[in-house]
Amino acid sequence: MNKIAIIGSGGLGREVLGIIQSINRKEKTWDFIGFYDDNPSSEVVNGFPVLGKIAELNDINEEIYVVIGVGNPNVREILFKKINNQNILFPSLIHPSVEIYSNESVTIGNGVVIAANAVLTVNINISDFVYINAMSLLAHDTEIGKFSMIMPTVSISAGGKIGERVYIGNGTKIDFPIEIEDGTVVPAGSVLTKEK
């Protein structure tokens, strides 16, 4: 099994651990070694150690996989840029319950995490380090830029274009091929549409 660690031991980091554990229940894939966190609330989180500060990943001299488990899109990018060690690899994690209609037409970048019961239809492009939370729906021709966060039960209709470092809050409905600019925060429960 491949060694894997999570950057961030807060709520999202613990949810990423849950996804790793779900993957392992289906097929033993990952050897989870612990968290890296600059401000941990404890030395042990959910039974696993906080191994050190994030910068210490640059001193590792063996190949390990690392997932960014922090929810703020801007911080996600900053944390990624702190890592300059070629031994650190960024896998994409997909919960076993995720439904992807067409592996041939759905592109998923490095470091992407897709949580339980998300649905991705066809002709979708998900850039690096995007997080798609539980029960979200991405319809055909959706594009999501780097480091963006899609929170639970978000629905993006056909042709939505989401920029980089965008945060889309819980339950948001995007009901038109709308473009969302880089760095936008969409409040939970928003309905984005256009008049015909």
In the chain, what are the domain boundaries? 2-91, 94-192
Record: fold of 2-91: Rossmann fold (3.40.50)
Q: How far, in Å, CA of 184 to CA of 40, rounded?
A: 28
How confident is the model at residue 196, as a pLDDT?
47
Kindly report the pTM of this predicted structure.
0.95
| Structural contact between residues 177 and 196, judged by C-beta atoms closer than 8 angstroms | no
Core vs surface per residue 29-41: b (16+ CB within 10 A) or e: ebebebbbbeebe
Sheet holding 143-144, edge to edge: 106-108, 124-126, 143-144, 161-162, 179-180
**193 burial level (CB within 10 Å; 0-12, 13-18, 19+):** exposed
For the segment 28-85, what is each residue's pLDDT rounded down to a tens digit?
999 999 999 999 989 999 999 999 999 999 999 999 999 999 999 999 999 999 999 9
Distance CA 148, CA 156 (A): 14
Domain 94-192 has CATH 2.160.10.10: yes
What is the tens place of the pLDDT at every residue in 74-122?
A: 999 999 999 999 999 999 999 999 999 999 999 999 999 999 999 999 9
**What is the Cα–Cα distance from 48 to 105, expressed in whole angstroms?**
37
Confidence at residue 73, expressed as pLDDT on a 0 to 100 scale: 98
Q: Hey, how many other C-beta atoms are within 10 angstroms of the C-beta on 28?
A: 9
pLDDT tens digits, one per residue of 133-166: 999 999 999 999 999 999 999 999 888 999 999 9
Supply the pLDDT for residue 195: 56
C-beta separation of 70 from 42 below 8 A? no
Residue 49: count of CB within 10 angstroms of its CB? 15
DSSP state of 187: P
Q: How far apart are CA 94 and CA 15, in angstroms?
A: 12
Q: What is the DSSP letter of 109?
A: -
